[in-house]
């Protein structure tokens, strides 16, 4: 439990800061841009649950994001559903989608899962384009409900909501990482056959990761129609989401929940600046180039680079992932006690 007190304190501070910001800052654009960055934090974190932990690469994150968005649109049009309901149902729908894709392809090699995610992206886009209830290819306008008195505008409400979602997503990712679930996923990534032979239910864990990842991506997408006041397939299914969801964790570092956050904040902010000042195609090109560069040169991402720097100054770290095991923290017994014989060193 003590691992969590620092994290919870930080989370509360962030949400409090977000609420305070809505009273103090006048410039609406700040909330607009920050919403996008927070949204990418959720997307990147979601991606990494399956990609970083288990090693399966999702190329179709845009589809899960857009499915969440369009689920919200359908709910608004059909039932005028409140935001909370939209979020919950979107999570269920995209979680189910993740489960389905996983059930079909996670038994096969990694590349087939990846291709299946591209397939799902194209199929979802085709379905949406042909579905006039949610606006088809022309798109549909969505009215923002009036903002409650606490926030100046509905956009500010969405900003705080997204901050909350980001904190929840990161908390889930952190829990998965430091718990036995995370260890199981890493075992699968390192050597699936060995993991299975030591009792890890590989398929179940992979399905869990795929479902959780899909659900979180859908949650990230659900507030999108309200945020934009309009939605149409080209922007909802934009390739930018697929590439960013992949590039941010890789650039930040896939080994820990911190990596996607770093990647999302850095890259998201850069994207906002470039889009406004230069062009959005160039922005997307830059993301692609950064992705390729990092994959080749710094595969452990920014986190890995930082670790290397620390290692040089502090001396060798014993292992890459220093995540403590549950239990009483004893040091190992010194030489000579309770062992069969001394070990020869290499």
Partner 1 sequence: MSFELLIEACVAGVLLGCFYAAVSIGLSVAFGLLDVPHIAHPAFVVLGAYAVYVLGQHGLDPLLAGAILTPVFFFVGVAVYRFYHAAFEKRGTDAGLRGLAFFFGVAFIVEVGLILIFGVDQRMVDAAYIGKSLSFGEMRLPMRMVVAFGVAMLLTVGLSLYLSTTFTGRAIKAVAQDQTALALMGADPVRIKQWAFGIATATCALAGALLIIIGPVEPGLGRLYIGRTFCVAVLAGLGSMPGTLAAGVILGVAESVVLSSLGASWAPAVAFGILLLVLAVRPAGLFGR
Partner 2 sequence: MTPLLQVTAVSKRFGGFVALSDVSLDVRRGERLGIIGPNGSGKTTLINCICGALRSDSGSIGFDGSDVTRLPSYKRTRLGMARSFQIPRPFASMTLAENVAVPLEYVRHRGSLHRADIRGEALAILEQMGLGDRADASAGALTQVDLRKLELARALAARPSLLILDEVMAGLSSVEVDEVLGIVLGLNRQGMTVIMIEHIMRAIMRFSERVVCLDAGRIMAEGPPEHIADDPNVRRIYLGA
Among 9, 12, 84, 123, binds partner 1 (CB under 8 A): 123
Please choose, out of 10-18, 156-164, 183-191, 225-233, the segment that lies near partner 2 by the rule CB under 8 A: 183-191
| 3 state DSSP class of 58 | coil
The entry of partner 2, partner 1, none that residue 186 binds, CB within 5 to 8 Å by partner kind: partner 2
The 257-296 contact track toward partner 1, x by CB under 8 A, reads ------------------------xx-xx--xx-xx--xx
Contact range with partner 2 by CB under 8 A, out of 26-34, 85-93, 193-201, 222-230: 193-201
Q: Please pick, from the candidates 197, 297, 312, 314, the single residue that binds partner 2 as defined by CB under 8 A.
A: 197
Nearest distance in Å: CB 321, partner 2: 6
Q: How far is the CB of 50 from partner 2 (least distance, A)?
A: 16
Minimum gap (Å) between residue 29 Cβ and partner 2:
42
Helix (H/G/I), strand (E/B), else coil: 323: coil
The answer to whether residues 109 and 176 touch, using CB atoms and an 8 Å cutoff, is: no
Q: Which residues of 316-331 are buried (b: 16+ CB within 10 A; e: fewer)?
A: eeeeeeeeeeeeeeee
Cβ-count burial 94-129 (b if 16+ within 10 Å, e if not) = bbebbbbbbeebbeeeeeebbebbebbbeebbeebb
Least CB distance from residue 239 to partner 2, whole Å? Answer: 31
CA distance 303 to 259: 6
Is the Cα torsion angle 72, 75, 80, 84 positive or negative in sign?
A: negative
**Contacts with partner 1: how many residues (CB under 8 A)?**
39
Nearer to partner 1 among residue 38 and residue 251 (C-beta): 251
Backbone region of residue 256 per phi and psi (left: phi > 0; alpha: psi in -120 to 50; beta: other values): beta
What CA–CA distance (Å, rounded) separates 74 from 287?
32
Residue-wise DSSP of 110-158: HHHHHHHHHHHHHHHHHHHHT-GGGTTTT-EE-PPPPPPTTSSSHHHHH
Given candidates 195, 207, 209, 217, which one binds partner 2 under the rule CB under 8 A?
Answer: 195
Catalog residues that contact partner 1 under the rule CB under 8 A: 51, 55, 57, 59, 104-105, 108, 110-112, 114-116, 118-120, 122-123, 126-127, 129-130, 190, 239, 243, 246-247, 250, 281-282, 284-285, 288-289, 291-292, 295-296, 299
Catalog residues that contact partner 2 under the rule CB under 8 A: 180, 183-184, 186-187, 189-191, 193-203, 318-321, 323-330, 332-335, 338-344, 346
């Amino acid at each position: 439990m003590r691992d969590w007190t620092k994290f919870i304190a930080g989370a509360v501070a962030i949400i409090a800061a977000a609420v305070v910001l809505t009273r103090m800052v006048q410039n609406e654009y700040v909330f607009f841009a920050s919403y996008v960055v927070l949204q990418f934090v959720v997307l990147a974190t979601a991606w990494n649950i399956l990609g970083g932990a288990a090693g399966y690469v999702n190329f179709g994150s845009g589809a899960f994001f857009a499915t969440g968005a369009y689920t919200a649109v359908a709910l608004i049009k059909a039932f005028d559903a409140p935001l909370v309901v939209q979020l919950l149902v979107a999570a269920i729908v995209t979680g189910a989608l993740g489960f389905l894709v996983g059930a079909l392809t996670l038994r096969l090699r990694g590349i087939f899962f990846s291709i299946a995610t591209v397939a799902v992206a194209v199929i979802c886009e085709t379905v949406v384009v042909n579905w006039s209830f949610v606006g088809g290819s022309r798109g549909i306008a969505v009215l923002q409900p009036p903002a409650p008195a606490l926030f100046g505008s509905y956009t500010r409400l969405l900003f705080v909501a997204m901050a909350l979602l980001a904190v929840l997503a990161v908390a889930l990712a952190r829990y998965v990482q430091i718990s036995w679930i995370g260890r199981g996923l890493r075992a699968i990534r390192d050597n699936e056959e060995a993991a299975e032979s030591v009792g890890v239910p590989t398929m179940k864990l992979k399905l869990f990761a795929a479902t959780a990842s899909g659900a979180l991506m859908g949650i990230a997408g659900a507030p999108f129609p309200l945020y934009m006041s309009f939605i149409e397939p080209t922007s909802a299914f934009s390739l930018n989401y697929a590439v960013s969801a992949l590039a941010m964790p890789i650039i930040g570092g896939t080994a820990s929940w911190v990596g996607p956050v770093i990647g999302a904040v850095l890259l998201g902010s850069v994207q906002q600046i470039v889009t406004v000042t230069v062009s959005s195609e160039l922005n997307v090109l830059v993301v692609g180039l950064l992705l390729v560069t990092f994959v080749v040169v710094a595969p452990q991402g920014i986190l890995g680079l930082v670790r290397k720097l620390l290692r040089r100054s502090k001396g060798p770290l014993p292992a890459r992932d220093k995540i403590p095991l549950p239990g009483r923290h004893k040091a190992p017994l010194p030489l000579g006690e309770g062992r069969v014989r001394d070990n020869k060193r290499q």
